[in-house]
Amino acid sequence: MTISRRNVLLGATAAAALGPMAARAQTSEVAIGVIYPLSGSSAAIGVDAQHAFNTAADIINKNYDFALPLAKGEGLSGLGGAKVKLVFADHQADPQKGRAETERLITQEKVCAVVGTYQSAVAVTVSQTCERYGVPFISADNSSPSLHRRGLKYYFRASPHDEMFSAAMFDFFDAMKKKGQKIETLALFHEDTIFGTDSANAQTKLANERGYKIVSDIKYRANSPSLTAEVQQLKAANADVLMPSSYTTDSILLVKTMAELGYKPKNIMAQDAGFSEKATYDAVGDKLEGVISRGSFSLDLAQKRPMVGLINEMFRAKSGKDFNDYSSRQFMGLIIMADAINRAKSTDGEKIREALVATDMPGDVTIMPWRRVKFDEMGQNNFADPVLLQYSAKNFVTIFPEQAAVSEAIWPMNS
């Protein structure tokens, strides 16, 4: 049989007509990889993360009357109403496991994007793997400043990093000094992975610039079985402010050891992590009245933006908890990634990357106190304004910056 030019054209026309239907059939679901510690000492974080991502997926896939990207209407309109399918992976807080699981998500589960990871050390290997395969990665809740400075094309972070968080802390110290409070000496206490190291570097730099004296700088091994020697050093230094950068199990051990050794810091200004986790306050909350932690999220925002409270209720129905600094950022990580996929109208990695680069989301259509979401040339959002939260009467209240504060700071915490 000879194939005429007309038959070729007719065949092409038929294929073109079928094209949109075929595309819709292929993209009835859009697979997004979500990689967190679902077992081991950080498993509680991973479980909360699953609830946060599932809450976001529900809002994307169903119809809700929220002023939030993708809430109205069902699924991704740019892909014919395709639903977001989450594929979870467990990195067990191990960077090499994170690398292997990310590769599995991409090559076997065929995800078009990845969101993660809680531990910054795991974000290093996950993002490198995504880069190798040309798959966009959103660093939902990692705060190490060095992560976005590695020249990666497919790395994006909407939330603040520890230099931004630490600057808010020192702005607060400066403001309190102007009110007559004595803040001269600081004690840094940080775990030895990239999170703790980068945090301490940022705080040291700011202390030098702002004229504060670091009287103790203790780097300890993450998941250490004992912190007795370290707490004895902190007690001897007796700084005006203790500044810990520790994950949950270390935070609990630190507070228990301080109580055993009779060390009551005048003030604690924490770099989030364990000091934003419900597990810490369930275990030692009676010893943490007045502790301050930096954050990205405050439930107080619901007073100005009612949808924040409504979405928090959805999360609480799944998790039994309110959004915290981590779960709120995880929620927004998926919303931002799905919004980019929707605008890309494609599951192609490069097209999604281009859509992420073009992101410009006003702060009032998020659940965060951010001015907007817009990425710089390194994939960092510099408009994610941090807040400082103080734990008082079993609740966190926003105390800084002034425009977001709903309460005055209790200072010193053990007054």
- The model's pLDDT over 337-362, given as tens digits with 9 standing for 90+, comes to 999 999 999 999 999 999 999 999 99
Question: Which residues does residue 392 pair with via DSSP β-bridges, in sequence order?
Answer: 395
Domain ranges of the chain: 10-160+301-384, 163-295+388-400
Q: Could you report the per-residue pLDDT of 190-229, keeping only the tens digit for each?
A: 999 888 998 999 999 999 999 999 999 999 998 899 999 9
What's the gap between Cα 148 and its chain centre? 14
Average pLDDT, the chain: 91
CATH class of 10-160+301-384: alpha beta
* pLDDT above 50: residue 2: no
Residue 134, token pair as written in the block: 């040309």
- pLDDT-wise least confident of 11-25, 119-133, 163-177: 11-25
Amino acid letter for position 26: Q
Beta-sheet pairing, 137-139 with 83-90: unpaired
Distance between CA atoms of residues 356 and 216, nearest Å: 42
Instruction: Quote the pLDDT of residue 100.
Output: 98
* pLDDT above 80: residue 4: no
Average pLDDT score over residue span 17-29: 51
The answer, yes or no, to whether the previous bond of 412 is cis (omega within 30 of 0) is yes
The better pLDDT of the pair 309, 22 is held by 309
Reduced 3-state DSSP string for the chain: CCCCHHHHHHHHHHHHHHHHHHHHHHCCEEEEEEEECCCCCCHHHHHHHHHHHHHHHHHHHCCCCCCCCCCCCCCEHHHCCEEEEEEEEECCCCHHHHHHHHHHHHHCCCCCEEEECCCHHHHHHHHHHHHHHCCCEEECCCCCHHHHHCCCCCEEECCCCHHHHHHHHHHHHHHHHHCCCCCCEEEEEEECCHHHHHHHHHHHHHHHHHCCEEEEEEEECCCCCCCHHHHHHHHHHCCCEEEEECCHHHHHHHHHHHHHCCCCCCCEEECCHHHHCHHHHHHHHHHCCCCEEEECCCHHHHHCCHHHHHHHHHHHHHHCCCCCHHHHHHHHHHHHHHHHHHHHCCCCHHHHHHHHHCCCEEHHHCCCCCCEECECCCCEECCCCCEEEEEECCEEEEEECCCCCCCCCCCCCCC
Instruction: Quote the pLDDT of residue 162.
Output: 87
Residue 98, token pair as written in the block: 């994170």
Average pLDDT score over residue span 16-20: 41
Question: Which residues does residue 189 pair with via DSSP β-bridges, in sequence order?
Answer: 218, 244
Q: Which residue has the tokens 């915290």?
A: 324
Instruction: Quote the pLDDT of residue 13.
Output: 41
* pLDDT above 50: residue 175: yes
The better pLDDT of the pair 366, 407 is held by 366
* pLDDT above 70: residue 153: yes
Rounded percentage of the chain residues whose pLDDT exceeds 90: 78
Q: Could you report the per-residue pLDDT of 32-59, keeping only the tens digit for each?
A: 999 999 999 889 999 999 999 999 999 9
Same fold, 10-160+301-384 and 163-295+388-400: yes
Region at 349 (left for phi over 0; alpha for psi -120 to 50; beta for the rest): alpha
Instruction: Quote the pLDDT of residue 415.
Output: 57
Q: Could you report the per-residue pLDDT of 219-265, keeping only the tens digit for each?
A: 999 889 999 999 999 999 999 999 999 988 999 999 999 999 999 99
Residue 373, token pair as written in the block: 């979401």
Distance between CA atoms of residues 247 and 236, nearest Å: 24
Distance between CA atoms of residues 368 and 65, nearest Å: 18
Q: Model pTM?
A: 0.83
Q: Which residue has the tokens 């795991």?
A: 122
Instruction: Quote the pLDDT of residue 291.
Output: 94
Distance between CA atoms of residues 253 and 260, nearest Å: 10
Give the pLDDT band of residue 365 (cuts 50, 70, 90).
very high
* pLDDT above 50: residue 14: no
Q: What is the CATH number of domain 163-295+388-400?
A: 3.40.50.2300
Amino acid letter for position 264: K
